[in-house]
């Protein structure tokens, strides 16, 4: 958990300084799976009942609140090369910015259905 918190803090700092959105997907599973079509990767907020394996971790931040669809498409594009069928967003939130603005962050896991 500390590693996720530190990673999130690092990406938050980078995004705030650079002013850009960041999607980081880190492969954690063994083996290789053929890439999937990014348009077919689901974005989930709950754990599916279907059996799956975890392929990697996902960390996202720096997207404006109005860019939720853009954030989801960026997650799909980064998870598809791992062979992911879906990404489960386990935590998310907003970071307040100057003048009432805010950026979004999220963490989760890329999965492949069995």
pLDDT digits (tens, 9 = 90+) for 75-86: 999 999 999 999
CATH of the domain at 26: 3.30.110.70
- One digit per residue, the tens of pLDDT, for the chain of length 114 reads 555 555 545 455 444 444 589 999 999 999 999 999 999 999 999 999 999 999 999 999 999 999 999 999 999 999 999 999 999 999 999 999 998 889 999 999 999 999
Task: Name residue, tokens 């077919």.
Answer: 40
Residue 27, CA distances (Å) to 20, 97, 114 in order: 23, 31, 17
Task: Name residue, tokens 């997907």.
Answer: 25
Tell me how many domains the chain contains.
1
Task: Name residue, tokens 């594009």.
Answer: 77
State how far the Cα of 46 lies from the Cα of 49, in Å rounded to an integer: 9
Counted residue by residue, the chain has a size of 114
**Residue of 62, 69, 66 lying closest to 19 (CA atoms):** 62
Domain of 87, in residue numbers: 2-113
pLDDT tens string 27-39: 999 999 999 999 9
């Amino acid at each position: 958990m500390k590693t996720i918190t530190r990673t999130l803090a690092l990406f938050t700092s980078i995004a705030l300084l650079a002013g850009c959105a960041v999607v980081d997907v880190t492969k954690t599973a063994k083996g290789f799976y053929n890439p999937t079509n990014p348009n077919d990767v689901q974005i989930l907020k709950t754990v599916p009942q279907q059996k799956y394996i975890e392929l990697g971790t996902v960390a996202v931040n720096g997207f404006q609140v109005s860019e939720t669809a853009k954030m989801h498409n960026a997650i799909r594009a980064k998870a598809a090369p791992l062979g992911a069928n879906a990404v489960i967003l386990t935590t998310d939130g907003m970071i307040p910015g100057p003048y009432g603005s805010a950026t979004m962050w999220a963490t989760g896991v890329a999965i492949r259905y069995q």
